[in-house]
């Protein structure tokens, strides 16, 4: 899908980070925007900023099947099938994996995984129907995962699980789409540490579902916040990567290809039957710091 002018982009998590920057970029390409976010004030700001291109702005909790169904009905009524669907809304969470509560799992998987599931199950049929009606129609789905979808950093278990699932869903979607159409494609976005609002994603969580954080969870929050804040790529850089990937029909979208060495090492470990290696081999002082904090 090379010509974006006049086409429609649906973006979840549009109030900040990658979603906001992609919305801005799509606007410069002349696209119509369907903006979705759970944070009403952030959604209002971006809708006002991009008012000339926004055809629908709706506050939605992407983990809710009912709210996503309502969104899909509104999209169908206002603009029909979107040409670009960016299933991007996400939250961060860390800590030792056995310390996560059921409510923690429900929250993280609800947003990070089920938000993508709902986007795929509701909008893919619309896109396929549009493609069937018009042989020239083109569509693309981009699902936001993470490098945590292809690597397993310690003390981030719940997040890792959610993002691995998004990678699996996306790769399967790629194969399934190829069985039925040549007009709709998909990508999976795997960013590393990029300054966005994800380090503060608990701001949109119901306090009633939150327990007092454990020491490991506080350590993970502090380390993640520091790593994200010092990222050298911007959210705007990643948004450009996404649109370039859509135009190229590229499936894998990596913001930090230099990190793929660790992915290759992990694959070698699996193929050769070796136990997982030290995730801190390149930064042993970080591993020592984390072990000392968790054992201290």
**Residues 221-276 pLDDT 10s:** 888 888 777 778 899 999 999 999 999 999 999 999 999 999 999 999 999 999 99
For this structure, is 192 an active site residue? no
Q: Is the pLDDT of residue 24 over 90?
A: yes
Neighbouring-strand partners of residue 86: 11, 142
Percentage above 70 pLDDT, the chain = 99
Q: Is the pLDDT of residue 197 over 80?
A: no
Give the β-pairing of 139-144 and 32-37.
Answer: unpaired
pLDDT at 199: 66
Report field, pTM of the whole predicted structure over 0.85: yes
Catalytically annotated residue among 86, 107, 159, 193: 159
Pairwise CA distance, residues 22 & 239, whole Å:
5
All structural domains of the chain with their residue ranges? 8-259
Q: Which long-range contacts (CB under 8 A, 24 or more apart) does 221-228 make?
A: 221/94, 223/94, 223/155, 223/290, 224/92, 224/94, 224/156, 224/199, 225/199, 225/200, 227/193, 228/193, 228/194, 228/195, 228/196, 228/198, 228/199
Query: What residues contact residue 227 under an 8 Å CB cut-off, 6+ apart?
Result: 193
> Which of these, 101, 211, 92, lies nearest to 162 by C-alpha position?
92
CATH of 8-259 among 3.40.50.1460, 3.30.1330.10, 3.40.50.720, 3.40.1410.10: 3.40.50.720
């Amino acid at each position: 899908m090379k010509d974006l002018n006049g086409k429609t982009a649906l973006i979840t998590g549009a109030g900040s980070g990658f979603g906001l920057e992609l919305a801005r970029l799509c606007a410069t390409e002349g696209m119509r925007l369907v903006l979705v976010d759970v944070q009403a004030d952030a959604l209002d700001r971006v809708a006002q900023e991009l008012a000339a291109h926004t055809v629908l702005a709706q506050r939605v909790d992407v983990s809710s099947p009912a709210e996503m169904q309502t969104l899909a009905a509104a999209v169908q009524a206002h603009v029909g099938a979107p040409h670009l669907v960016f299933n991007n809304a996400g939250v961060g969470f860390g800590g030792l994996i056995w310390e996560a509560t059921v409510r923690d799992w429900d929250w993280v998987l609800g947003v990070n995984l089920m938000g993508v599931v709902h986007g795929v199950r509701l909008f893919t049929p619309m896109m396929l129907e549009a493609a069937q009606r018009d042989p020239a129609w083109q569509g693309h789905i981009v699902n936001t995962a993470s490098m945590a979808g292809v690597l397993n950093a310690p003390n981030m278990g719940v997040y890792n699980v959610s993002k691995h699932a998004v990678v699996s869903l996306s790769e399967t979607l790629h194969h399934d789409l190829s069985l039925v159409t040549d007009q709709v494609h998909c990508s999976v976005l795997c960013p590393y540490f990029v300054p966005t609002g994800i380090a503060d994603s608990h701001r949109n969580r119901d306090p009633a579902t939150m327990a007092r954080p454990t020491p490991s969870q506080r350590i993970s929050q502090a380390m993640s916040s520091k790593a994200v804040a010092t990222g050298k790529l911007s959210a705007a850089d990643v948004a450009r990567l996404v649109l370039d990937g859509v135009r190229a029909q590229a499936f894998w979208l990596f913001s930090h290809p230099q990190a793929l060495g660790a992915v290759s090492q992990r694959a070698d470990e699996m193929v050769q039957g070796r136990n997982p290696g030290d995730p801190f081999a390149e930064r042993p002082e970080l591993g020592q710091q984390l072990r000392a904090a968790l054992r201290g």
